[in-house]
Structure 1
Amino acid sequence: MGLTAVGIGSGIDIGGIVSALVNAESASKIAKFDVNEGKLNAQISGIGALKSAMSEFNSKLESLTKAETFGSQKVVTSTKDYLSASVDKSAVSGVYQVQVEQLAQSQKVGTAVVADDTSPIGEGSLSISVGSGTAFNIDVSDTDSLTNIMEKINTAEDNTDVTATIIHGELGPQLVLGSKKTGEDNSISVTATDTGVGTGLSDTFTMSELTPAKNAIVHIDGVKVVSQTNSIDDAITGVSLTLTDADIAKTTTLTVSQDTAKTKGAIEGFVESYNALMTTIQDLTGYDADTKQAGILQGDALPRSIQSQLRGMVSSGVDTSDGMQMLANFGVKTTREGLLEIDSDKLKDSIENNQSAIAELFSTEETGLAHKMSNLVDTYVKSGGIIDGRDNSLDEQLSRIADSREQLNRRMAAYEDRLYKQFNAMDLVVANLNSQSNMLISRLDSLPGVVKQNN
């Protein structure tokens, strides 16, 4: 690149001069890049904060678009010792007294005791069924033992209702079949047919009941209810019972009531996230007179448009079966600052006495407030949506600045190289002139009659 220190011929600080000239040429451009880059990064940060607040708001809207958020019921049991309960929306509020007399159980039957569970039983076939279900068949060879038969039963492709195991009791081993289904309608039937010599198979598979099949029996407000299983879904409208223990002398009280907390919590979450979004937009676009600082998105039409559209939806009504309804009718009003505020007493009364109207206001398909707001927010925050488009635009602007920086660096490198060449050439000229001057002075001093004067 040439000399980078003091010129040999001229004594001039070439490096310092070149550096100063390059800096003078590039400083204003670099400063402009820095300013623009800083603004773009700030805007990207602001857009990210806006998207985050909108996504959080959208998550709160989701529950308000669902009908089950409104008018749902809840059930409380006085004890969990004998049963558990759940309810759906059709359950009727009320108090129910339940006694569990008997749990449902499955039947178990056993074969005759054999001397050795690894010895052949006898050739033939078995037909096994549970209740009114289709029987499945097992072919037994003349070499099959009780253990082999157990394995064939358990691995039969068409066996869905029976388990087989061998229990070694005091008198010897026997095969025990158990039904996978509870209730008296699901008793086990076994038919053995001998095809070989003797009656070994049919003699062994003369079944005896070890555990009887039982139905579940409960009493609900004095009404006897019988079920094949310990899960009872049709005894009380909208209530499902799962029986876990029985004691006819013990009463479990079921209390079914409206689940107002679910609706209240959803509306409170909506108000909180709406206010957070509005505050975020205000911070991004407003001006703080105390700090004299403007928001990083001040003057940006995007957040202001979002704010305007959402405020318009909040203040407008929704056509329901009870006429035009608004948030304010149910205790959610707009403050002077454009935020939402809850009148707790009015909201509580509305949820308890007019929850169907609240449901229509929020969750009616397409026209409900939550649906309309969610559809609007989706257009901004979804992948490839409006905000992603803005992000991409800002990223492209940053990329162009980076390209411009690179171009400037290349131009400044060429400019610096050119300056060094020019100053080096000048320094060489000065060096030659100095050399010639010195030589001329030396020759003059050597002429006869020339007296060198000292100053």
Structure 2
Amino acid sequence: MTTISTPGIGSGLDINTIVSAYIDAQTVPFEARMEEKESTYTSQITGYGTMRNSVDALQSAIDTLTDTDNYGAMQVSMGSADYFSATIDTTATPGSFDIQVQQLAEAQKLTSGAFVADDPTGEGSLEISLGDSTFTIDVAADATLDDIKEAINDSDLNPGISASIVTDDDGAHLVLNSSQTGLTNQINITAYDATDTEIVDGTGLGKLQFDSSDVANSQMAETQAAQDAILVIDGSLTITNDSNTFEEAIEGVTFTVTDVHEDGDSTSITISENTAQLENAIKGFVDAYNSYLETSKSLQYTNVDAEITAALAGDATARMMDRQFRTVVSSVYGDSDFNSLTSIGITVNEDGYFDVDSDVLSDAVANNTDDLMTFFIGTDDEPGMGAKLQAQIEIYSGSDGILSTRVDTLTGQVERLDDERETFAERIETQEAQLYSKFNAMDATVAALNNTLSFVTSQLDNLPGVISNDD
């Protein structure tokens, strides 16, 4: 039998075209369906992601609105920031004060007499104290001033004294710096010889002796005396502190002093209620809610005439979320003067967005933060509007919320489309091979029949008495 090497050569049919047309008839509509599904899923994923970002922003605004620190919060203002900084906590109360910094706290600094750098300082030990903390270093017979420096700095019991060596024209000097300020943190050094006898004559290690209560008769020199910070309030109340931070001078206020006033000068401070902080939190909520509404509307928009359909048009999740949020913010809470958004100057306009009457809101914030706190946060028995909206938002936001779950589901559907394409491609490849096999078999059969016909015709033409029709 004749072998057909080119599809259709035996039968005269265009087998390649026939098979391609059959395959395209299945592939083209399949790919169209897949692309439509993928486009829909991808659009919805983007839509839910955009909605989730908007809801997360709204949640952040609600978190601020339900933060109790924003209700009755205090603020401090100063006539100048040149001499001190001031911070306040929730215990501060309104008031005005004149503050004078008379003295800054200083840390003590000591300098020894001159030593020959590489010579032994003398055998024994040094008992060193800083305030109530004491540590001892042992000094070997061949120890130098540098060895003493290292021993001081490396001691695990050192409460905060740093040692260094300064070399001038006279020789090497041991310099000790306290890391702690104030009169309660003074350095004292007692020197002992190898027999643990105190050295009082200034020889050997006795050159490093220092007594803060008798500086004039000490061996080391005090180049910076320890001193306390002094703060005077309203010209008559004096507070002394061993550091430059005053935490109890005025209840709820912490001062950190940085410079000293001239005699007779002072800086005024005023502590007042920070109504702007709460008002900004409420306006921040309004802005975030309006932004959420705008996002939600744009994602559900449909215009039949213009053939515009947004990503989440007709989506049940988006509609339910809108309805639930709207129910929470439009409800009445309690029976105080401020029991609804309308009562504090927040109304809904004809487009569904919030409008704020700043005068009404400012008056509410300035005069009754307790009722505002009850309205937004609620009580132990009944949550307020903000707390309820916060709980409702948590159902939809976050990695475990409904919006994230919908995104995960749609992402899985997109991935399954790839599996469908792969399965379809395998099936089409099999069908194509089967079609070529069948058509090629038919082609070979037709070719064989044509050959047989030609042979029979030729034989008949050669029989005696047979007259060809062509003659």
TM-score, length of structure 1 as denominator length: 0.88
CA contact (8 A) 2:76 2:269 kept: yes
Please provide the CA RMSD for this pair. 2.9
Correspondence 1:329 to 2:328: no
Report if aligned partners of 1:3, 1:15 keep a CA contact under 8 Å in 2: no
The whole-number CA distance in structure 2 between the counterparts of 1:14 and 1:418 is 13
Of the structure 1 ranges 299-308 and 382-391, higher mean CA displacement relative to structure 2 is found in 382-391
1:299 aligns with 2:314: yes
Query: Which residue of 2 is the match for residue 427 of structure 1?
Result: 443
Cα distance change on mapping 1:405 and 1:243 into 2, 3 Å: same
Change over 3 Å in CA distance of 1:432–1:387 after alignment to 2: same
Q: Letter of the aligned partner of 1:375 in structure 2? A: A
For the pair 1:281 / 2:296, whether they are aligned, the reply is yes
Q: Show the counterpart of 1:341.
A: 355
Kept in 2, the 8 Å contact 1:96–1:221? The answer is yes
The residue number in structure 2 matching 1:80 is: 81
Paired-residue identity, %: 35
Tell me, yes or no, if structure 1 residue 218 matches structure 2 residue 231.
yes
- 1:317 corresponding residue in structure 2: 332
User: 1:105: Cα distance to partner?
Assistant: 0.9
Per-residue deviation, residues 300-321 of structure 1 (Å, max 9, x unmatched)? 221112111111111123448x
Task: Note the C-alpha offset of 1:450.
Answer: 5.3
**Cα 1:187/1:382, change in 2 over 3 Å:** same
- Extract structure 1 runs of 4+ deviating beyond 6 A: 2-5
Question: Which digits, 9 at most, give the CA deviation of each residue in 1:254-290, with x for residues without a partner?
Answer: 2333333322332222222212222222222342356
Given the superposition, is the C-alpha separation of residues 29 and 4 from structure 1 closer, same or farther in structure 2, using an over 3 Å criterion? Answer: farther
Query: Partners of 2:327 and 2:262 in 1: how far apart?
Result: 61
SS at 1:44's partner residue? helix
Deviations 1:140-165 (A, max 9, x none): 22222332222212221111132223
The reply on whether 1:9 has 2:10 as its aligned counterpart is yes
CA distance in 2, matches of 1:156, 1:89: 42
Give the structure 2 partner of residue 360 of structure 1: 374
Instruction: Using the TM superposition, give the Cα deviation of residue 6 of structure 1 relative to its aligned residue in structure 2, in angstroms.
Output: 5.8
Aligned pair in 2 of structure 1 residues 5, 151: CA closer, same or farther (>3 Å)? same
Give the letter aligned to residue 102 of structure 1.
Answer: Q
Distance 1:421 1:148, change over 3 A: closer
The answer as to 2:40 corresponding to 1:44 is no
Measure, in 1, the Cα distance between the counterparts of 2:342 and 2:242.
Answer: 51
- 2:280 corresponds to which letter in structure 1? G
Alpha carbons 1:333, 1:342 under 8 Å: kept? yes
The SS at the match of 2:159 is coil
Can you give the 5+ residue segments of structure 1 that lack an aligned partner in the other structure?
A: none
1:310 aligned partner, one-letter code? F
1:186 partner SS:
coil
SS in 1 for 2:243: coil
Q: Structure 1 residues 211 and 26, CA, compared in 2 at 3 Å: closer, same or farther? A: closer
Q: Contact 1:263–1:351 (CA<8 Å) still a contact in 2?
A: yes
Q: Is the contact between residue 147 and residue 166 of structure 1 (CA under 8 Å) also seen in structure 2?
A: yes
Residue pair 2:349, 2:355 contacting (<8 A) in 1 also: yes
Rounded Cα–Cα distance in structure 1 between residues aligned with 2:5 and 2:464: 44
CA contact (8 A) 1:5 1:13 kept: no
Give 1:438's aligned residue.
454
Separation in 1, partners of 2:256, 2:427: 81
Determine the structure 2 residue equivalent to 1:201. 205
Aligned position for 1:372: 388
- Unmatched 5+ residue regions in structure 2? 210-218
Question: 1 CA distance for matches of 2:353 and 2:436?
Answer: 65
Q: 1:422 to 1:95 in 2, by over 3 A?
A: same
Provide the residue aligned with 2:215 in structure 1: none
When normalised by structure 2's length, the TM-score is: 0.85
Tell me the distance in 2 between the aligned counterparts of 1:93 and 1:148: 57
- Structure 1 segment 216-295 matched on structure 2, within 5 A: 216-223=229-236, 224-249=238-263, 250-288=265-303, 291-295=306-310
* Maintained 8 Å contact 1:3/1:14: no
* CA shift in 2, pair 1:151/1:418, >3 Å: closer
